[in-house]
Amino acid sequence: MNADSTHNHLLAAICSVESNCNDDAVGDGGDSIGAYQIQYAYWKDATDFDKSIGGSYQDCKDSEYSRKIVLAYWSRYAIIDRVGEEVTDEDRARIHNGGPNGYKRNSTNKYWTKVKAVLTTTKKEITND
C-alpha cells in the first residue's frame, strides 16, 4: 500500500474542510490556492524536499498535483523524528494547517476538530453502505 492510498480518507477530509474540494478556491487573502489551500512556502518546502514533483506553484490549482505536495510536506515534517512518537492523522492535519510545528500549536485544534468531524461522518457513511 503506498502512502497516497494510506492517507486517502485524511486527504479527502482535508480537501473538504479547506475548500469543499474546489480546485479554483483562493483563500487567506489570495495567499492559499487550490482544493488543499496550499501557500507558496508550503509548496516550496514540499518541492525542495521532493524535487521529482516539479511543476510550479500555480499547479496547486490541480488537486492531483496538490495531493503530491501535501504528501511530500508530510514526508518532510510529519515524521517520528520530529513529532517524537507515532504520527497520527491529527498530527498530519495540524501540520497541514499550522506548518511544520502545527501539531504543537493550540491554534490548530479547531482545524483538527473540523477534519475529525468529516472523517467521522465519512466512516459512518462507509459503514452504513
| Per-residue pLDDT tens over the stretch 88-129 | 999 999 999 999 999 999 999 999 999 999 999 876 555 444
* Residue whose C-alpha is closest to residue 115's, from 6, 5, 19: 19
| Per-residue pLDDT tens over the stretch 3-53 | 456 799 999 999 999 999 999 999 999 999 999 999 999 999 999 999 999
Contact between 108 and 98 (Cβ < 8 Å): yes
Look at the chain and report how many structural domains it folds into. Answer: 1
* Separation of alpha carbons 55 and 115, rounded Å: 28
Domain assignment of residue 69, yes or no: yes
* Separation of alpha carbons 72 and 101, rounded Å: 16
What pLDDT is recorded for position 6? 75
H helix or E strand, kind and range, residue 126: helix 109-128
Task: Look up the CATH number of the domain holding residue 49.
Answer: 1.10.530.10
Domain assignment of residue 128, yes or no: no
Q: Which residues contact 22 (CB under 8 A, 6 or more apart)?
A: 35
Can you give the residue range of the structural domain that contains 112? Answer: 3-121
Domain assignment of residue 129, yes or no: no
